[in-house]
Amino acid sequence: MTPPATPPARTRVNGPYTVVELAGEIDLATAGSVADHLDAATASAAVDVLVDLRGVEFFDCSGLRVLCRAQDRAVRGGGRLRIVCDQPYLRRLLGATGLLGRFPPLASLPDGLPDRTP
Protein backbone atom coordinates (compact mmCIF):
# COMPACT_ATOMS: atom_id res chain seq x y z
CA MET A 1 0.00 0.00 0.00
CA THR A 2 1.31 3.42 -0.95
CA PRO A 3 1.22 6.06 1.78
CA PRO A 4 -0.66 9.26 0.98
CA ALA A 5 1.37 12.08 -0.52
CA THR A 6 2.77 14.39 2.13
CA PRO A 7 4.68 17.65 1.71
CA PRO A 8 8.12 16.03 1.46
CA ALA A 9 7.21 12.76 -0.31
CA ARG A 10 4.98 11.19 -2.91
CA THR A 11 5.14 7.70 -4.39
CA ARG A 12 4.07 6.45 -7.79
CA VAL A 13 4.45 3.14 -9.57
CA ASN A 14 5.29 3.13 -13.27
CA GLY A 15 5.89 -0.25 -14.86
CA PRO A 16 8.67 -2.04 -12.98
CA TYR A 17 9.70 1.09 -11.07
CA THR A 18 8.50 2.58 -7.83
CA VAL A 19 9.40 6.26 -7.86
CA VAL A 20 9.54 8.08 -4.53
CA GLU A 21 9.70 11.82 -5.23
CA LEU A 22 11.09 13.98 -2.43
CA ALA A 23 10.85 17.76 -2.24
CA GLY A 24 11.71 20.60 0.10
CA GLU A 25 13.70 19.96 3.24
CA ILE A 26 14.56 16.43 4.28
CA ASP A 27 15.61 16.60 7.92
CA LEU A 28 14.67 15.24 11.34
CA ALA A 29 11.19 16.77 11.07
CA THR A 30 10.37 15.14 7.71
CA ALA A 31 12.45 11.93 7.80
CA GLY A 32 9.57 9.95 9.32
CA SER A 33 7.29 10.69 6.38
CA VAL A 34 10.08 9.84 3.94
CA ALA A 35 10.70 6.58 5.84
CA ASP A 36 7.00 5.68 5.53
CA HIS A 37 7.18 6.04 1.75
CA LEU A 38 10.47 4.15 1.46
CA ASP A 39 9.26 1.37 3.79
CA ALA A 40 6.19 0.88 1.61
CA ALA A 41 8.30 0.99 -1.56
CA THR A 42 10.72 -1.67 -0.28
CA ALA A 43 8.13 -3.96 1.34
CA SER A 44 7.97 -6.37 -1.62
CA ALA A 45 10.68 -8.62 -3.00
CA ALA A 46 12.76 -7.68 -6.05
CA VAL A 47 11.69 -4.03 -6.12
CA ASP A 48 13.31 -1.39 -8.30
CA VAL A 49 13.01 1.86 -6.35
CA LEU A 50 14.07 5.24 -7.69
CA VAL A 51 14.32 8.03 -5.12
CA ASP A 52 14.01 11.31 -6.99
CA LEU A 53 15.89 14.00 -5.05
CA ARG A 54 15.78 16.68 -7.75
CA GLY A 55 13.16 18.70 -5.82
CA VAL A 56 15.09 18.63 -2.54
CA GLU A 57 16.39 21.95 -1.20
CA PHE A 58 18.02 20.66 2.01
CA PHE A 59 19.10 17.17 3.04
CA ASP A 60 20.74 16.18 6.33
CA CYS A 61 21.96 13.03 8.05
CA SER A 62 18.39 12.06 8.98
CA GLY A 63 17.64 11.66 5.29
CA LEU A 64 20.86 9.74 4.69
CA ARG A 65 19.97 7.31 7.47
CA VAL A 66 16.54 6.69 5.96
CA LEU A 67 18.06 6.14 2.49
CA CYS A 68 20.64 3.67 3.82
CA ARG A 69 18.01 1.71 5.74
CA ALA A 70 15.70 1.55 2.70
CA GLN A 71 18.51 0.45 0.41
CA ASP A 72 19.51 -2.31 2.84
CA ARG A 73 15.91 -3.50 2.91
CA ALA A 74 15.59 -3.43 -0.89
CA VAL A 75 18.81 -5.39 -1.37
CA ARG A 76 17.85 -7.98 1.27
CA GLY A 77 14.66 -8.56 -0.74
CA GLY A 78 16.57 -9.05 -3.98
CA GLY A 79 15.85 -5.57 -5.33
CA ARG A 80 17.64 -2.27 -5.61
CA LEU A 81 17.27 1.35 -4.64
CA ARG A 82 18.84 4.14 -6.67
CA ILE A 83 18.75 7.90 -6.40
CA VAL A 84 18.07 10.50 -9.08
CA CYS A 85 19.95 13.69 -8.30
CA ASP A 86 21.22 16.60 -10.34
CA GLN A 87 22.25 18.98 -7.54
CA PRO A 88 26.00 19.38 -6.96
CA TYR A 89 25.53 19.96 -3.21
CA LEU A 90 23.91 16.54 -2.78
CA ARG A 91 26.75 14.89 -4.70
CA ARG A 92 29.21 16.68 -2.37
CA LEU A 93 27.22 15.49 0.67
CA LEU A 94 27.29 11.89 -0.58
CA GLY A 95 31.02 12.18 -1.28
CA ALA A 96 31.83 13.76 2.09
CA THR A 97 29.96 11.00 3.93
CA GLY A 98 31.51 8.19 1.89
CA LEU A 99 28.14 7.26 0.35
CA LEU A 100 28.76 8.33 -3.25
CA GLY A 101 29.86 4.79 -4.17
CA ARG A 102 26.81 3.32 -2.48
CA PHE A 103 24.43 5.79 -4.16
CA PRO A 104 25.91 6.77 -7.53
CA PRO A 105 23.29 9.29 -8.64
CA LEU A 106 21.41 9.07 -11.90
CA ALA A 107 21.01 12.49 -13.54
CA SER A 108 17.45 11.71 -14.66
CA LEU A 109 14.80 9.02 -14.57
CA PRO A 110 15.27 6.09 -16.97
CA ASP A 111 13.97 6.56 -20.51
CA GLY A 112 10.24 6.20 -20.85
CA LEU A 113 9.36 7.32 -17.32
CA PRO A 114 7.40 10.54 -17.02
CA ASP A 115 9.53 13.15 -15.30
CA ARG A 116 7.44 14.19 -12.28
CA THR A 117 3.86 14.04 -11.16
CA PRO A 118 1.97 17.34 -11.19
Per-residue pLDDT, 39:
97
In a domain, 117, yes or no: no
Per-residue pLDDT, 117:
55
In a domain, 101, yes or no: no
Prediction pTM value: 0.92
Per-residue pLDDT, 81:
98
In a domain, 57, yes or no: yes
In a domain, 81, yes or no: yes
Residue 85 amino acid letter: C
In a domain, 106, yes or no: no
Compute the distance between CA of residue 103 and CA of residue 85 in angstroms, rounded to an integer. 10
Compute the distance between CA of residue 42 and CA of residue 65 in angstroms, rounded to an integer. 15
In a domain, 30, yes or no: yes
Compute the distance between CA of residue 47 and CA of residue 22 in angstroms, rounded to an integer. 18
In a domain, 38, yes or no: yes
Structural domains counted in the chain: 1
Per-residue pLDDT, 1:
65
Q: Chunked in runs of 10, what are the mean pLDDT values of the chain (118 residues)?
A: 78 94 96 96 97 96 98 98 96 96 95 71
Per-residue pLDDT, 5:
66
With a CB cutoff of 8 Å and minimum separation 6, the contacts of 74 are 41, 42, 47, 49, 80, 81
34 touches 63 (CB < 8 A): yes
User: The domain containing residue 25 runs over which residues?
Assistant: 9-96
Q: Tell me, what CATH number does 73's domain have?
A: 3.30.750.24
Per-residue pLDDT, 112:
75
In a domain, 114, yes or no: no
